[in-house]
Amino acid sequence: MASTCKGIGIVFAILGVAVVLFFGAAIERDENYNRAALAAARNPGNVMYDAQLKEAQALRAFEIIGAALGALLAINGVTLVLLGGLATQQEQAAKAESGPPGRASS
């Protein structure tokens, strides 16, 4: 049980970090948002530029939410790894408390 918990936790943590890095890179490479924001600022009230900015904002929101969900997935993975460690300690403590096999307790 403990090793399964640790294994799943490691997978979740790695996937979470990968998702954060992917969406972080997507945010960094997103030039459409900067271009749309600049065009909308230079042409206030222009419906076309405002629509382009709204589209770029929707994409940016998706990227930010993706990065946040990746961070939460990584946190859940680390939590599972820690719980697996605690379960291992509990199993070892229970084995040590019961004593060596074949020995009768009084």
pTM, 2 dp: 0.77
Distance of CA 31 to the CA centre of its chain: 24
Distance, CA of 73 to CA of 78 (rounded, Å) = 9
Distance, CA of 13 to CA of 72 (rounded, Å) = 9
Helical H segments across 1-106, by residue range: 2-29, 31-42, 47-98
pLDDT digits (tens, 9 = 90+) for 7-53: 999 999 999 999 999 999 999 998 999 899 999 999 998 999 999 99
